[in-house]
Chains A and B, each alone.
Chain A
Amino acid sequence: DTAVSQTPKYLVTQMGNDKSIKCEQNLGHDTMYWYKQDSKKFLKIMFSYNNKELIINETVPNRFSPKSPDKAHLNLHINSLELGDSAVYFCASSQPRQGIVIQYFGAGTRLSVL
């Protein structure tokens, strides 16, 4: 059983379209995250979310929005896609235990905007 799963694995779309990436975790964690890895391979946090709080990286355009139907799911919606949105997007989850936070990552979704 995959702990953190993302769909789709690959997504190719046209500029201006709206798309969603889904993420599910079966670890019972309270916190989920979205990261973006650009062409230069830098990994950056976009959002973190638990059932109480959404933390948004201020550099993320408001075309990106996380939506959580329940604790096990955090989907990423992207409106009006732009060429610069092409990247690999990773979902992750964690649960603090005695002050330690270990994040478990999905396999990534490679988004290509044409």
Chain B
Amino acid sequence: DAKTTQPPSMDCAEGRAANLPCNHSTISGNEYVYWYRQIHSQGPQYIIHGLKNNETNEMASLIITEDRKSSTLILPHATLRDTAVYYCIVRVRAYSGGGADGLTFGKGTHLIIQP
């Protein structure tokens, strides 16, 4: 799986959009970008994933650059409860019977939402 690089920490004001960048310059064509977060003392939580198109769900939006070498997770209206460590993970597409290997978590970005 391709390596990812994220800033160690970021601040964002409550109510504003939080934009979390991730660099994955060695990503290959069959690798997806996944985002998870871990709120203090809880298990990691899946947020969103994408291949090459921008994606949006009830939690966030994911913007992937055209060359796929970087992406941005956007929390449109950050709340205090969004304070967490956010992990950007690149994973190869899982074929039938596959997908059993675990996720490789880096250090992530510690996002702090300020009141």
Contacts and interface: CB of A to CB of B under 8 A. Distances in A.
Interface residues of A, number: 31
Interface string A28-61: 0001010100000111111011101101010000
B101 A48 contact: yes
Interface stretch (B59-67, B73-81, B90-98): B90-98
B44 A48 contact: no
B115 interface: no
A33 B102 contact: yes
B34 to A, nearest CB: 8
Nearest to B43: A105
Contacts of A46: 102
Interface residues of B, number: 27
Interface string A97-110: 00111111111100
B94 A103 contact: no
A9 to B, nearest CB: 10
A96 B44 CA distance: 18
Given A41-B85, A96-B94, A31 B44 contact: no
Nearest to B47: A102
A90 B43 contact: yes
A50 B97 CA distance: 9
A43 B105 contact: yes
6 contacts: A31-B99, A43-B105, A92-B43, A100-B49, A100-B94, A104-B46
Interface of A: 4, 31, 33, 35, 41-46, 48-50, 52-53, 55, 57, 90, 92, 94, 96, 99-108
